[in-house]
Structure 1
Amino acid sequence: MDAPQFLEEFGHIVNAPGGVARLRQLVISFAITGKLVSLGSSSSIGESAYALVERAEAEKRHVISKGEARRSRPLSPIPIQVKHQYPPQWEVVRLGSIIHLISGQHLKAYEQNTSGLGIPYFTGASDFGWVNPIVTRWTEVRRALAIRGDILISVKGTIGKINVLNMEEAALGRQLMAIRPLAIKPDFIALILKREERNFVSKGIGIAIPGISREHILNLVVGIPPLQEQDRIIAKVNELMTLCDTLEEQQQTRRNLQNNLRQSTLQVVANAQSSYEIQAGWERLESNFGHLFSMPEDVIALKGLVLDLAVSGRLLPPDQKHSSTGQDVLQAIAEARNNWAKSATGQEKKEALEMQKKLRTQRIRIQADPLPDHWCWASLLQVAQVVVDCHNKTAPYVAEGIHLVRTTDIRNGRMDLTKTRKISEETYAYWARRMPPRGGDIFFTREAPMGEAAIVPEGEKVCLGQRTMLIRLFTEHLNNQYLLYVIMSPSFQTRMIEAAIGMAVKHLRVGGVEDLLVPVPTKKEQDRIVACIERLFEICDRYMETLGKKRQLAGSLAANAIGQLTGISIEQEGVEPVKVPQTTLISRLRLGKAPNVKELAPLANLLARHSGELSAQDLWQRFGGEIDAFYAQLKTEVVHGWIEDPSYDLDDSAPEGPRKYPDGWLVAKVVVKEEA
């Protein structure tokens, strides 16, 4: 191992996304190729690698002769050039010549039990813990047995994961195999298997359930050092892995400090009461910007601050002269609504009269939060031309037709029409009979999730899906983009959550939506606020893109550094399309204690906006960051209690109930899908 070269590249590797994980890969790669520890003297080597392999092969023949193992096909010879990649005192062999490989066998349901009768029975990687498997089922059928010290490897579905059996014996299902080293240190074989995990995944065959065969494992080329050198390698790996643990803890501590600093800085700006305090807060934010925002997801909190400042009248410079007020805007909307009721015909007239009836009986409690003197609070019903609920039934779908916009098609202020369900003209005529949507209308979701909103694009024919509502404005008096930003603001989302009902799944009644309060400035200020938000968001988006590119570049540099040091090419996430198997995290994450609106808890805030519960996959996609950043942020928010400790069952068929894991773990079930 070239120590100066490693030290030169160390910073690139560790500080890159997933850098410590790459460092662990590097340590293991060096360990199993003889580059991690210095060579011992000939007098200290003891039994040679050649003699050790001879002893292992003799044990293999003895096991076969006793009928405890089946005879494998002859293993392929190893090319000379491969042997030259290892130290001369090492012996290079096929793994199959020095191990006993036991294939698992499926047991029927009646052959299993959850009452502890018999021996443990493991079915797959879902039974794996961090190092050792976790017992949830037992069996009295003694078939496909592994014994203490055997290395368990998952060979179907989730491929290449390993655990070490820490009990006297256990039965294995067909998704597992047991590797029993003969004369070789099991910990050293485990290092080899950890190093080969990525290769096992790439060799996976099968469409519905990818897997690897016995031949994949038996024909693996491995270098075997003398026994004493194996001990020194294992000890050094353990020492370096402990250092990696320390590095991860330090990185998490640094990240927590950064989060706290960013939270306090943003909170100072958000709580500022005077123009001087706001200016001082912005200057502090600007001078520390690079330290506060190091990941793309960090900028989400800044966007939330911008929205809250904008809709509370603190984003624009103060102006003492106002030719109109928010009350004037409400009066103009009321007059326009009355004129509409007089001139409308048919269904529109019914809707106009219904709106007037609702307004006469509506009773709202005005929000106490301060606004500029010439602004006012109003309900969504007061500022709208009309608020219409959807037809709350599942529409019949067709292959081609009109977009049916469901709650899943509205995210982060945008309407995604690329994956919508389609309905026929006849269905549309009935489903949209109350108020056919048109460009500029706002769709609002009141359940699953609640609080998402988007503007209908001009020229698109769309229909309300279930649990959505249509808000139409007199846009000459109220800017629809301004109202959208109000809905997206953290302060509005907080008011919405307080108004929601339901124990299991939070949602809004139609009347609850109509009663939600929005701040009303003059039309001129609305337009200026929208322009200002869009300029600031454009800057935020550019910065997020820059951070994303920097992280991708850092990852590439780390991969290249490892490639130069080891000769191993590491596939970069996000560069190439994901190959099968595709996986989906289906764990449920639930909101714990609600964070303060100013606290830096992007994941908890997302959960709060979506009924307090989302799947891990859905939350990660909404989060928008890399998976490593997502897990780091999740761990932080679990520690603060903003998100409940995820502790869910990985086996839907297990009758014994949820399986418990250590605090702070994210438990995810992996479902293998066929690539479309």
Structure 2
Amino acid sequence: MSAQELITKHLDLWTGAVTKRSSSGRGSNGKVELTGVEKLRELILELALRGKLTEQHAGDEPAEQLIERIATQKANTGNGKRGTPQPPKNETPIPQPFQVPSTWAWVPLRETGLTSTGKTPSTKNASFFSGDIPFIGPGQVTVRGKITKPEKSLSEEGAAHTEEALPGDILTVCIGGSIGKTAKVSERCGFNQQLNKIRPILVESDYLFFAISAKFFQKAIRENATGSATPIINRSKWESICIPLAPFAEQKRIVQKVDELMALCDRLEQQTSDQLEAHETLVDTLLGTLTQSENATELADNWTRLAAHFDTLFSTKQSIDKLKQTILQLAAMGRLVEKGSGDEPAIDLLTEIHARKTALAGEKRIKQPRALTQLDNTQHSYTAPAHWAWAYFQDIADEISTGPFGSMIHKHDYVVGGIPLINPSHMVKGHIKEDSSVSVTPTKAEELSSYQLAKGDIVMARRGEVGRCAVVTDRETGWLCGTGSFVLRFHPAINRQFILLLFSTDTVRDYLTGNSVGTTMTNLNHGILKKMPVALPSAEEQDRIVQKVDELMALCDQLKERLNQAGETRCQLAEAVVEKALT
């Protein structure tokens, strides 16, 4: 099967194998990585370097003769800035990771050009960095082999105190997490000691770039690197890795063919991205009609239209996540369940909460509550049923308190296995995750006893991802609220899961984030949370809403799991096709 047939026969596989990029925190854009197309790019390079993309011509000068001409030219090249003297040719058998055409040859990388390692000029001399010659580090070398604009530029004086790279040279990162990343230089630049350079001699620069970027070479870099936390490959080991060298005329044909096929990959990638973007827009629009429905009849009509295309719309993890968010929003708007005939009016629950707070204040257990007032229509932040009661959040909660000030506890107070502190990072999907290393001694806990937690409390992040919540259970009773958190306490009739649901909606999260302060670390003001408008249903309706949301979320999770399995299968198939093509 030809390379062109291999690509076109598996077109659906290349474009259908996608994985979600790793991301954390709210607001991640859910972008996906086109795994299939990346595998196709990898396959193209591997086939090219096995001589399977182009035909071998009898009239081409064999690689062995090319190697001799390279050695002669290198011998006539001076040392200085253009490269260092090369060791004599190694007579031991050269390892061959795979078979190549008879007119090719395996050679150590050093035998294809002049190598050097970069250097950083003294930063104490400001004049060295006052010019316009780019100074490159690992951060400027991209995954796709491009070099981005650096923060530092050298003067001619500074360039004289570093290694220089010219157009056509190849740079490879030789230290750190991005070890192996490789780029072809397009303009004169200097580079630091975390990069190695090779200047090709009688070898096509693009061909050499392909060889160093290929999977077999990258694997060899990792295998020859030392250090685990910070891998390093020294220049001697890097330049000793062998590459398959094609005759020079065939190198040109290979570069042309690879460029053609990579351009095809670019088109496939763009088409797939456009389709995913259009799909995302369609999902957003149709889900938006649900939350914008004016009444139950309109909601039912909009849902019927959406349900007719369910399999088409919810075919990605991102679309299912958006469906889950829509379910939460509909729940907070009272669109998921009907009013029960025996439900206590929501205003009665609100009045009961206020009466209980007044009684607790009389016992000196909380502060005296302010007068209860219902909000008018202009103060509503989203639509809710008429039988729900609108109020400020401070009227729904018994108490809203903050964790200890930073001056009250420091990291040097932490012990292992003491009384745990609950910080925002410990709140995971509505539950509290214990970290035994973030705890204090019983003596210190006694000093902080006013921040002790009880079953039924809700801890909420007021720094970072504001609005993240978790419910305190029997296990966490007696633990302490940490800095950067609120403690929320409620009337027994308030369903704690309904409160978590509320704080998971975009409407509430946007309100909290939009009213927080800080740029590097958002911080929610205590008064902002108190003044947040909230629609409260009856206790009975809260229970039904939570039950319905749990049912729907379980269905969404099942659907996502099936998609995960299908996605993993597609990626494995793409990997298998690549492996089969190379064996």
TM-score class, shorter-chain normalisation, is 0.7 to 0.9
Number of the residue aligned with 1:134 = 149
Map 1:141-152 onto structure 2 (within 5 A): 141-152=160-171
Identity of aligned residues (%): 24
Number of the residue aligned with 1:15 = 16
How far the C-alpha of 1:449 sits from its partner, in A, is 2.7
Higher mean displacement: 192-201 or 494-503: 494-503
Number of the residue aligned with 1:409 = 426
Asked whether 1:97 is paired with 2:116, we answer no
Q: Is contact 2:374-2:390 (8 Å) kept?
A: no
Map 1:288-299 onto structure 2 (within 5 A): 288-299=309-320
Map 1:278-357 onto structure 2 (within 5 A): 278-317=299-338, 319=340, 321-342=341-362, 344=363, 349=364, 351-352=365-366, 354=367, 356=368
Residue of structure 2 aligned with 1:492, choices 490, 508, 515: 508
Q: Is contact 2:347-2:388 (8 Å) kept?
A: yes
CA displacement 1:168-206 (0-9 Å, x = unmatched): 4x4432111110122111111111001023442343212
Segments of structure 2 that go 5 or more residues without pairing to the other structure are 19-34
CA displacement 1:253-289 (0-9 Å, x = unmatched): 1011101110111011111223232222222332222
Residue of structure 2 aligned with 1:539, choices 535, 552, 555: 555
Structure-2 change in CA distance of 1:362 and 1:111 (3 Å): farther
One-letter identity of the residue aligned with 1:100 = L
Higher mean displacement: 90-99 or 534-543: 90-99
Aligned to 1:109, the other structure's residue is in SS state coil
Q: Is contact 1:49-1:90 (8 Å) kept?
A: yes
Number of the residue aligned with 1:647 = none
Q: Distance in 1 between matches of 2:12 and 2:519?
A: 49
Number of the residue aligned with 2:236 = 215
* TM-score relative to the length of structure 1: 0.75
Q: Is contact 2:290-2:299 (8 Å) kept?
A: yes
How far the C-alpha of 1:546 sits from its partner, in A, is 2.1
Structure-2 change in CA distance of 1:228 and 1:74 (3 Å): closer
Number of the residue aligned with 2:403 = 390
Number of the residue aligned with 1:49 = 63
Number of the residue aligned with 1:78 = 93
Q: Distance in 1 between matches of 2:235 and 2:512?
A: 57
Number of the residue aligned with 2:263 = 242
How far the C-alpha of 1:328 sits from its partner, in A, is 0.9
CA displacement 1:428-479 (0-9 Å, x = unmatched): 222232x52112211122232322111113222421111211111122x211
Structure-2 change in CA distance of 1:317 and 1:101 (3 Å): same
Give the count of matched residue pairs.
Answer: 549
Number of the residue aligned with 1:583 = none
CA displacement 1:595-629 (0-9 Å, x = unmatched): xxxxxxxxxxxxxxxxxxxxxxxxxxxxxxxxxxx
Residue of structure 2 aligned with 1:29, choices 28, 46, 51: 46
| RMSD of equivalent CA atoms | 2.8
Higher mean displacement: 328-337 or 365-374: 365-374
Aligned to 2:317, the other structure's residue is in SS state coil
Map 1:637-656 onto structure 2 (within 5 A): none
Segments of structure 1 that go 5 or more residues without pairing to the other structure are 568-676
Q: Is contact 2:169-2:205 (8 Å) kept?
A: yes
Q: Distance in 2 between matches of 1:526 and 1:36?
A: 65
How far the C-alpha of 1:563 sits from its partner, in A, is 0.8
Q: Distance in 1 between matches of 2:133 and 2:424?
A: 48
Number of the residue aligned with 2:222 = 201
Structure-2 change in CA distance of 1:133 and 1:479 (3 Å): closer
Q: Is contact 1:296-1:545 (8 Å) kept?
A: no
How far the C-alpha of 1:505 sits from its partner, in A, is 5.5
Aligned to 2:455, the other structure's residue is in SS state coil
Q: Distance in 1 between matches of 2:437 and 2:300?
A: 45
Map 1:585-596 onto structure 2 (within 5 A): none
Q: Distance in 2 between matches of 1:305 and 1:266?
A: 7
Map 1:256-275 onto structure 2 (within 5 A): 256-275=277-296
Q: Distance in 1 between matches of 2:162 and 2:517?
A: 54
Residue of structure 1 aligned with 2:440, choices 420, 423, 440: 423
One-letter identity of the residue aligned with 1:485 = L
Structure-2 change in CA distance of 1:500 and 1:166 (3 Å): closer
Q: Is contact 2:423-2:485 (8 Å) kept?
A: yes
Q: Distance in 1 between matches of 2:169 and 2:315?
A: 44
Q: Is contact 1:133-1:163 (8 Å) kept?
A: no
One-letter identity of the residue aligned with 1:386 = E
Structure-2 change in CA distance of 1:22 and 1:422 (3 Å): same
One-letter identity of the residue aligned with 1:311 = A
Q: Is contact 2:339-2:541 (8 Å) kept?
A: no
Q: Distance in 2 between matches of 1:252 and 1:162?
A: 25
One-letter identity of the residue aligned with 1:244 = C
* TM-score relative to the length of structure 2: 0.86
Q: Is contact 2:392-2:531 (8 Å) kept?
A: yes
Number of the residue aligned with 2:528 = 512
Q: Is contact 1:442-1:471 (8 Å) kept?
A: yes
Structure-2 change in CA distance of 1:286 and 1:114 (3 Å): farther
One-letter identity of the residue aligned with 1:101 = T
Asked whether 1:185 is paired with 2:199, we answer no
Structure-2 change in CA distance of 1:376 and 1:562 (3 Å): same
Q: Is contact 1:294-1:547 (8 Å) kept?
A: yes
Q: Is contact 2:119-2:163 (8 Å) kept?
A: yes
Structure-2 change in CA distance of 1:458 and 1:202 (3 Å): farther
Q: Is contact 1:103-1:177 (8 Å) kept?
A: yes
One-letter identity of the residue aligned with 1:25 = E
How far the C-alpha of 1:533 sits from its partner, in A, is 0.6
Number of the residue aligned with 2:23 = none
Number of the residue aligned with 1:110 = 124
How far the C-alpha of 1:232 sits from its partner, in A, is 0.9
Map 1:529-608 onto structure 2 (within 5 A): 529-567=545-583
How far the C-alpha of 1:491 sits from its partner, in A, is 2.1
Structure-2 change in CA distance of 1:107 and 1:233 (3 Å): same
Aligned to 1:222, the other structure's residue is in SS state strand
Structure-2 change in CA distance of 1:450 and 1:140 (3 Å): same
Aligned to 2:417, the other structure's residue is in SS state coil
Structure-2 change in CA distance of 1:444 and 1:208 (3 Å): closer
Number of the residue aligned with 2:32 = none
Structure-2 change in CA distance of 1:133 and 1:382 (3 Å): closer
Aligned to 2:444, the other structure's residue is in SS state helix
How far the C-alpha of 1:425 sits from its partner, in A, is 1.6
Structure-2 change in CA distance of 1:87 and 1:541 (3 Å): same
Number of the residue aligned with 2:370 = 359
Q: Distance in 2 between matches of 1:467 and 1:199?
A: 46
Number of the residue aligned with 2:449 = 432
One-letter identity of the residue aligned with 2:401 = V
Structure-2 change in CA distance of 1:133 and 1:503 (3 Å): closer
